[in-house]
Structure 1
Amino acid sequence: MSVIEAARGRVFGLAFDRWSVVALAGLGLCGALVAALLMRLVTETGGVNSYALLADAFLHGRFDSPTCFDSDCARLPDGRIFVIFPPVPALVAAPIVALMGPGAHGFIAITTVLALITGWSWWTIAGRLGLGREAQIWATAAFMFGAPAIFVTLRGDNVWFFAQAVGLALVSVAFVAALDRRLLLAGVLIGLAFLSRQMALFLAPFLFVLSRPKGAPLIAFDRRTILDAVKLGAPILAAIGVYCLYNWVRFGAPLDTGYAYIAAYPAADDRNFITWRVLDKGLFNKDYFLSNVAYMFLQGFHIEFAGKYMTEIHGMDGLGTSILAASPFVFYAIYAKVDAKLLVGAIVIAIVGGITLFYHSNGFSQQNVQRYALDWLPVLYVILLTGAFTGDPEKVAERLKIFKLLTIYAVGLNVAAFAVAAVSKGVV
């Protein structure tokens, strides 16, 4: 082969290498979501996120608020109004509220920073688990842009999504701390995550298993194991105590979270199916199970059309797309290694996921995601990465090819969903 022929072959290969095209497509789609985030950041307006009201209440030494920016607030019989959600996200928002008051904007700037922390965490987790550089890149991109993480970041100006963005960042860093055997730090972080998103409490057993030294038994009663359990558990128990005290001060009982009062807040004309569910069936009910299962595991990408000819885009299905349809790379959990992490992780996922399947809300409103999956997805993702992308390099390389395509598909669906939402409602 001549030098010219060799050069032509290299140019031809570069120009038409399919995996280079795949990488560029992935980069472009992720870039589109980053652009959407920047647009949301610079156009955000205040007076929307009820955590600003809670932060303002804390700054003025009280717990109740004069009003609420959404429907999920508690109105007590004496007329007082409470933002019922856990307190840590309000503390995160306190600096901007101290500067701008309860009408503050800047929540999406905060969730952007939190997303950077979450992304760094999963990059680090993938590295700690032994993934190669290419797998590490794609694993991080899939979690951040092909799963609900990007959604709660983009929608951080609303109270529900802001809480999840805060909780996810804390949980993600806690996973890093557990892998580094920094048990006390992991416990503090999970405690703070619990005070942001209550379901984070159930992740503690998996963190303990994740922190175990290689070859160490899962259950032991030696001094080192007991000390590890105390380091992880003590801050979490302290956080539970804080939450019980917080509830008692607000509602007069340590286990009263205020959720039972939320149906009393919206005016009759503003009630939706969520309000009617709480009024007629309660916060938890077996009647919610079928709908929640369908949306968590079965429902596909769904654009709603309207108009006389059903040709006008009305928007995305507000109950979302199933995690299996929106993020099909989760099927890579089939490669999970059968070990203690899988056993404990499966139990944790079953508990957290099982509870939410009987809950009155499945995460509404949301586009192309099941955001409640973020409560257990970090556990599944660690199991997935460990099984699929460690071990035999040839097998890893082969598995990574399809994972790339599934990731691009997932990110592409998010881009499409946000585009539909922007066109139909004027917002992402």
Structure 2
Amino acid sequence: MTIPTESSTGFISSAKVGAILVFQGFFSIYLISFLITGSNYNSTYNYFNFLADAFLHGKLYLEQPLHTLDLIQYKELWYVPFPPLPALLMLPFVALLGPQQINAAIFSLTLGSINVTLVYLMLEALVIRGWSNLRPRDNLMLTGLFGVGSVHWYLAVVGDVWFISQICTLTFVLLATLLCLKSASPWIVGACLAIAVLARPNIALTLPLLIGIEVLHLQQKSGDGKIIRKQLFKWSFAVIIPMLLAVACLLLYNFLRFENPTDFGYLQQNISKKLYDNLHTYGQFNLNFIPANFEALFLLLPQLNLSIPNIVPDTHGMSIFLTMPILFYIFKLRHFSPLKIGALVSLGALLVPLLTYYNTGWTQFGYRFTLDFIVPLLVLLAVALGKRLPRRGIALIIWGVLVNGWGTFWFLTNYFV
């Protein structure tokens, strides 16, 4: 079997031009969204810019934080419980400008624009490999679906500690997936996923998708479809080692903060009383939380607010099939290849900690934890759609954009008040 290459298809130049235009277009959309709703707003719940400043001064805690919501007080010092990747990415900017001059929303929406660009390149790479048959215009529409037809839109333009962590995580998951599709060194692929783990450790469960991609590579190279087990083992070893190093770094980080390598401090967080009761009754993960999380992900609908009166989003979450209805096309998947199996395994594995988590994402539009598993979702959608987006699919994308536009401007307008 002949494996398509960028040079043989002639996509390399068009993909680069397309990537530049996608970045410019979505950076403009995100910036305008931010300016319309909060032009002078700089999040006081970011924390990561101040944590970066603390790192630069040899400290792991915040001195005199403006707010303490979701922070941890340990031995009379305030700590950020969330893994430190966003702070690490901000280090050079904080060193140059100072923590007060870092607008976390601008930082976040820039990364968000990069995310949309990486989605476009990932979809194009699937076509180059011959694993997706979509036309360039269809890939652009799916890119638009991700950029303004999913929860990524509003999450990218806020900049608060909870949201920016998800945006940073997604950047490196997309990088790992794109590089894997391009047959990059497994050490580099593993390093990208390892960096994502430094923001959200559960994202390591994306690994089955990457394994599925590599299995398909090996099948194509072997000609007769047989998997060379020794090569797959060597590849997996090279990917996993950087991830283990990332885990070791997190354990050390926890030990230096709380004298316990496995303690992220979540049980001592300064959180809402409603969340506190659940957390301390059942723990951070428990089967008792499945019904509420399942409802937030699949079942919740907008609510009628009689005091306005108006229809408003349910701030506990909303059905993913309302906010991204084109995902129904995933159920058309047939003839399961290693790529599809890997994506499905990643999707299922990533849902386990999310569905058993002690909260649904708190105040939000849609289900914000969708970003944790949106990469395997997009891969499955691209291969399930066949040769082109049907008209019904285009209509569903438009619906998703309208719903997310409504939800984004509702959330930003109310959230910044």
Q: Distance in 2 between matches of 1:250 and 1:426?
A: 32
Q: Is the 8 A contact 1:96 1:105 kept in 2?
A: yes
Structure 2 counterparts to residues 95-106 of structure 1, below 5 A = 95-106=92-103
Q: Is the 8 A contact 2:72 2:265 kept in 1?
A: yes
Distance 1:166 1:426 in 2: 22
> Which residue in 2 is equivalent to 1:415?
405
Alignment of structure 1 residues 67-82 onto 2, 5 Å? 67-68=64-65, 69-76=67-74, 78-82=75-79
Aligned length: 379
Give CA deviations for 1:129-158 in whole Å, capped at 9, x if unaligned. 1131111111111112111211210222x0
Does residue 379 in structure 1 map to residue 376 in structure 2?
Answer: yes
How many angstroms does 1:315 deviate by? 5.4
- Tell me the equivalent position of 1:7: none
Q: Secondary structure at the match of 1:109?
A: helix
- Please, what is the CA RMSD of the aligned residues? 2.5
| Secondary structure at 1:325 match in 2 | helix
Structure 2: runs of 5 or more not aligned: 1-24, 128-133
The one-letter code of the counterpart of 1:250 is R
Using a 3 Å threshold, how does the CA distance of structure 1 residues 61 and 142 change in structure 2: closer, same or farther?
Answer: same
How do 1:12-411 and structure 2 match up within 5 A?
35-39=32-36, 42-68=39-65, 69-76=67-74, 78-130=75-127, 131-156=134-159, 158-182=160-184, 183-212=186-215, 213=217, 214-215=219-220, 220-222=228-230, 224-262=231-269, 265=270, 271-300=272-301, 302-307=302-307, 311-313=308-310, 316-337=313-334, 338-367=336-365, 369-389=366-386, 396-397=387-388, 399-411=389-401
User: Which range moves more in the overlay, 67-76 or 193-202?
Assistant: 67-76
Question: Could you list the per-position Cα deviations for residues 295-347 of structure 1 after superposition, in whole angstroms to 9, with x for gaps in the alignment?
Answer: 111112x145143xxx4459532212121111111111123241222223222
Letter in 1 for 2:375: P
My pick for the range that moved more, 133-142 or 67-76, is 67-76
User: Which letter does structure 2 place at the counterpart of 1:274?
Assistant: L
- Tell me which moved more, 203-212 or 121-130: 203-212
Contact 2:72/2:79 (8 A) holds in 1? yes
Deviation at 1:38, TM superposition (A): 4.1
User: Structure 2 vs 1, CA of residues 242 and 31 (structure 1 numbering), >3 Å: closer, same or farther?
Assistant: closer
Contact 1:74-1:82 at 8 Å conserved across structures: yes
Q: 1:330 to 1:84 in 2, by over 3 A?
A: same
Given that residues 87 and 195 in structure 1 are in contact (C-alpha distance below 8 angstroms), is that contact kept between their aligned partners in structure 2? yes
CA contact (8 A) 1:315 1:424 kept: no
User: Are the aligned partners of 2:62 and 2:79 in contact in 1 as well (CA < 8 Å)?
Assistant: yes
Q: Is the 8 A contact 2:37 2:416 kept in 1?
A: no
Aligned to 1:129, what secondary structure does the other structure show?
helix
Q: In the aligned structure 2, how far is the partner of 1:360 from the partner of 1:296? A: 14
Which segment drifts farther, 67-76 or 229-238? 67-76
Distance 1:112 1:118 in 2: 9
One-letter amino acid of the counterpart of residue 221, structure 1:
R
What's the CA shift string for 1:219-240, capped at 9, x where partnerless? 6432x32332222122111111
Change over 3 Å in CA distance of 1:144–1:286 after alignment to 2: same
User: In the alignment, is the contact (CA less than 8 A) between 1:47 and 1:103 conserved in 2?
Assistant: no
Secondary structure of 1:81 counterpart? strand
Task: Say whether the 8 Å CA contact 2:27–2:109 is kept in structure 1.
Answer: no
Q: Percent identity?
A: 23
Q: Which residue of 1 aligns with 2:17?
A: none
- Contact kept in structure 2, 1:184 and 1:235, CA below 8 Å: yes
TM-score, with length taken from structure 1: 0.81
* In structure 1, distance between residues paired with 2:79 and 2:413: 34
Query: For residues 159-211 of structure 1, what are the alpha-carbon distances to aligned partners after superposition, in whole Å with 9 as ceiling and x for unaligned?
Result: 01000111111111111101011122211110000101112111112112213
Separation in structure 1 between the aligned mates of residue 369 and residue 284 of structure 2, nearest angstrom: 15
More moved, 246-255 vs 343-352:
343-352
State how far apart, in whole Å, the 2-side matches of 1:151 and 1:117 are: 15
Cα distance in 2 for residues equivalent to 1:159 and 1:422 = 15
Are the equivalent residues in 2 in contact too, given 1:55–1:93 (CA < 8 A)? yes
- Cα distance, 1:185–1:314 mapped onto 2, change above 3 Å: same
- Counterpart CA distance in 1 for 2:26 and 2:97 is 35
Looking at structure 2, the residues matched to 328 and 162 of structure 1 have their Cα atoms a distance apart, in angstroms, of 25
Larger RCO (CA within 8 A; separation ≥ 6): 2
Q: Distance in 1 between matches of 2:28 and 2:84?
A: 33
Residue in 1 aligned with 2:12? none
d(CA) in 2 for partners of 1:252 and 1:29?
43
Specify the structure having the higher radius of gyration (Cα).
1
Give the distance between the partners of 1:412 and 1:186, measured in 2 at CA.
35
Structure 2 contact 154–412 (Cα < 8 Å) conserved: no
Deviation at 1:426, TM superposition (A): 5.1
